Amino acid sequence: MSADPHTSPRQAGGEPSSFREFLAALGEPLLYLVRTFRELSEMFALTLYYMVRGRTRWRAIFEQLHEVGNRSVIFIAVTLGFLGMILIYQAGYQAEQITGDLQLLGGLFLQLLLREFAPTITAMMIATRVATGMAAQIGSMVVTEQVDALRMCAAPPVDYLVVPRFIATTIMMIVLTIFAVLVSYSAGALTALFSFGLNVRTFIDLSFIGWFDLILCLSKALAYGMAIPIIACHAGLNVSGGSEGVGRATTNAVVNASLAVVILDFILTSLGYVVLSLIP
């Protein structure tokens, strides 16, 4: 016997249609996130596997080191240099208004730079410039069926395309973070000298820096350097729909890589302070 078509879902004992629509709207993005996280985890595991078992392609690695590192130096120097000047000017102005004492300005700025600004801002810059290029390059190879040709030649795309980018980005992320600290701190010292008359020897203060700051800074740089190429290459390898798909992949790469940097920053910062609180 068929159900009365005029009977509402609630009256028929089923779920209300609005509730079903709510579950569908909630479930679809959630399933997408779970599927994407699973695929990224699989690609990360495969990348580590081919790093150990695959053939090391030094030429491809050096090409990526040049692409990620050398071509980002000016970009990072300008961004972190101006950031250092702005932060010192703002902090110095506030300190002069409140206490008039600028003796601690350099030491506290270096601590903040190591713990947060240098690795995270550098990673955001790399995510913007490098992740876009990786996704576009690999996506174009997918569209022109070059990736299919690699598979037919028994060359796994993860081994051939992802591993060199993964190694190069991880190495250069650490190098660029150290470079960012030096540039931003130097710019801050000059700003303190010319804006507030603070001597450079007074500004350079290492008394606030400890092993925790260095480990946290390098840990963040390492994590960002591994996450950005995996996300960018995953976006490129999953391109569909021709040139429009390549455009969507580049957008997804930069958005997801930036989001991953923010999430990793929160996780690593929280873990770092938990570990620090346990040490007597």
Distances (CA, A) of 142 to 110, 112, 125, 190: 44, 42, 26, 48
Checking if the pLDDT of 231 tops 50, the result is: yes
In a domain, 41, yes or no: no
Label residue 95 by pLDDT band (50, 70, 90). confident
Residue 12 within any structural domain of the chain: no
17-48: pLDDT as tens digits? 676 777 667 677 788 888 888 999 999 999 99
Residue 25: inside a domain, yes or no?
A: no
Average pLDDT of 121-126? 94
Residue 139 has pLDDT above 60, yes or no: yes
Q: Is residue 21 part of a domain?
A: no
pLDDT at 71: 87
Residue 22 located in a structural domain: no
> Is 67 a domain residue?
yes
pLDDT digits (tens, 9 = 90+) for 42-88: 999 999 999 998 788 899 999 999 999 888 999 999 999 999 999 99
Cα-based distances in Å from 108 to 113, 196, 277: 9, 16, 20
Domain that holds residue 126: 54-278
Q: Is the pLDDT of residue 9 over 80?
A: no
Contact 80, 122 (CB under 8 A): yes
What confidence score (pLDDT) does residue 1 get? Answer: 41
pLDDT on residue 227: 96
Asked if the model's pLDDT at residue 5 lies above 70, the reply is no
What was the pLDDT predicted at 33? 84
Does 228 map to a domain? yes
pLDDT of residue 109: 93
Higher-pLDDT residue of 150, 12: 150
Q: Is residue 105 assigned to a domain?
A: yes
pLDDT class of 97 with cuts at 50, 70, 90: confident
pLDDT of residue 98: 84
Give the pLDDT score at 2. 44
In this predicted model, what pLDDT tens digit does every residue of 165-222 receive, in sequence order? 999 999 999 999 999 999 999 999 999 999 999 999 999 988 888 888 999 999 999 9
Within 10 A of 117 (CB to CB), how many other CB atoms are there? Answer: 19
Number of structural domains in the chain? 1
Report pLDDT digits (tens) over 244-275. 888 888 998 999 999 999 999 999 999 988 88
Tell me the DSSP string of the chain. Answer: -PPPTTS-TTTTTS--HHHHHHHHHHHHHHHHHHHHHHHHHHHHHHHHHHHHHS---HHHHHHHHHHHTGGGHHHHHHHHHHHHHHHHHHHHHHHHHHT---TTHHHHHHHHIIIIIHHHHHHHHHHHHHHHHHHHHHHHHHHTTHHHHHHHTT--HIIIIIHHHHHHHHHHHHHHHHHHHHHHHHHHHHHHHHHH---HHHH---TT--HHHHHHHHHHHHHHHHHHHHHHHHHHHT--SHHHHHHHHHHHHHHHHHHHHHHHHHHHHHHHHHHHHH--
